[in-house]
Chain A
Amino acid sequence: MAPGLLWLTVLMIVPCLLIFVLIFFERGTYGGIDWSVATLGNFTRAFDPLYLSILLDSARIALTATIIALLIDYPAAYAIMKAPERWQTSLLFLAILPFWTNYLIRTYAWIVLLNPVGVINNVLTYVGAISQPLPLLYNEFAVILGLVYNYTPFVILAIYSALQRLDPSYAEASRDLGATAVTTFFKITLPLTAAGVSAGAVFVFVLSIGNFITPDLLGGGKMQMIGNLIYDQFLTARDWPFGATLSGLLIALMMIALLMQAVASGRARGDHHA
């Protein structure tokens, strides 16, 4: 056990703590870190409305992607669960398979599909549905689509696992007592699978909010999310301490999301026993 824990401590915990140390120093005049003066300046800077708004905007985009992913993936997972037993494994496998190919390539595929002279606009123009190409790429729509697409397989998996663990007798009992299928779904199935839903949701949210590639490639440089801002601070502005401060802020925000998930799943488990 020790070598593994040591590895994580030295190469994850210590570097992350270093981030929190860097917060208290300033950028040198020409970049890098000026170790000579400790300061709280980065804190006040990070709480500038500008940077907070970028953080909140990232949270909003991540949340939108999360909700859309759940709306698509819950019914999809449910459909897989309702499929004949012998098909389920294959369907689930098919749903998860895209997750295992390169993220950059999956994102790039959407550039090919969405760009003004891309596949979708070409097809729509060809069938005469549009005369001017639709602005599908390089905007928030493309970024959210990219996030939903990339994380959909995982969300289906998380929800399917929760559905599978569900005892079918609850739903049967509900139906026997005269509840409609819709009522049964909303009163029994959905609450009892809340833990799986929240696991999937947190996953999408956390990976989306810190995402760098999707806004970079599908946002056409016009979308600034917190991940891009951190990247820019490190490489473009060469202001490592401020980049570290923003990372610290992001870590804090994620902790909150995780805490909320823990509370939510704790409550879901509590309901189950009640």
Chain B
Amino acid sequence: MPRLLKAHLGVTFAFLYIPIAVLIVLSFNRAGMPTAWSGFSVEWYGKLASNPKILASAWNSVIVATISATIATVLGTLLALGVERARPSPARDALLFAPMIVPDIVLAIALLSFFTLLKFTLGLHSIILAHVVFNIAFVCAVVRARLKGFDWSLTEVSRDLGAGHFVTFRKITLPLILPSVIAAALLAFTLSIDEFIIAYFTAGAGQASTTLPMQIYSMIRFGVTPEINAMASIVMAISFALVLLAQRLNHGRIPGA
């Protein structure tokens, strides 16, 4: 049994990593066709670096992810602090859980209809507004998990000693929850930078609000080129680095776990 289990785990890991490995290997493939090996080359990385549309969309994604993760981290952390101290409310918990499970396409069209009805001009800002919605929920969940074992008497002591709310937050609460807050922020950043459908529907006119996943989607739709392999490899390297960082900060726990 254990040997069988070990073998199963090995197969599962192979299943998870072979597709990724194949993409990375093929990103160094010289030929125009990405499916047969024809010699080592880094030219697709060069092509990528000189493609202004990809660079612009990557930059847009960074802007969206940074701002939406920042807003969501602040609001989500405060929400977590409030919720953990307030009386339990199933309705509120449902509200906090909903953004994580509403299908992307439903939230996307709901927001598009909403923005259209309000004659709200779409752009990067509307993507940011939308991304904050699901990011708040994730940040709140990560921080709440950390607060589960939190000793609230510490904050009471601080306040008994005459410290105000803000001082207590800054000197006591924040340092204790900081690792989970940073992990949550990195999680929010990663989720936002990868998100496609909601961005696709809530983006405004033009290259100015095209994000990287939107660019990747149109590249995939328009054909399999080694450029996508190169980009996939870079995107994966960056996300892996971020997760690794988040994991370190969150005391070896994977954010969201």
- Residues of A in contact with B (beta carbons under 8 Å apart): 1-5, 7-9, 11-16, 18-19, 22, 72-73, 75-76, 78-80, 82-83, 89, 91-98, 100-106, 108-113, 115, 117-119, 122, 149, 152-153, 156-157, 161, 181, 202-203, 206-207, 209-213, 217, 227, 230-231, 234, 240, 243-244, 247, 250-251, 254, 258
| In contact, A122 and B75 (Cβ under 8 angstroms) | no
| In contact, A206 and B228 (Cβ under 8 angstroms) | no
Look across to chain A and name the residue whose beta carbon is closest to the beta carbon of B16.
A98
| In contact, A109 and B20 (Cβ under 8 angstroms) | yes
Look across to chain B and name the residue whose beta carbon is closest to the beta carbon of A217.
B220
A152 to B37, CA, bound (A): 29
Majority SS of interface residues in chain A? Answer: helix
| In contact, A96 and B257 (Cβ under 8 angstroms) | yes
Neighbouring B residues of A96 by C-beta, 8 Å: 254, 257
| In contact, A112 and B23 (Cβ under 8 angstroms) | yes
- Residues of B in contact with A (beta carbons under 8 Å apart): 1-2, 5-6, 8-9, 12-13, 15-20, 22-23, 26, 34-36, 75-76, 78-79, 81-83, 86, 92, 95-96, 98-99, 101-107, 109-114, 117, 129-130, 132-133, 136-137, 140, 190, 194, 196-197, 201, 213, 216-217, 220, 224, 228-229, 231-232, 235-236, 239-240, 242-243, 247, 252, 254, 257
Known: A98-B17, A108-B232. A12 touches B107 (CB 8 A): yes
7 A-B pairs with least C-beta separation:
A210-B103, A1-B82, A109-B19, A4-B79, A15-B110, A15-B114, A79-B9
| In contact, B114 and A100 (Cβ under 8 angstroms) | no
| In contact, A105 and B105 (Cβ under 8 angstroms) | no
Neighbouring B residues of A240 by C-beta, 8 Å: 109, 113
Neighbouring A residues of B34 by C-beta, 8 Å: 112
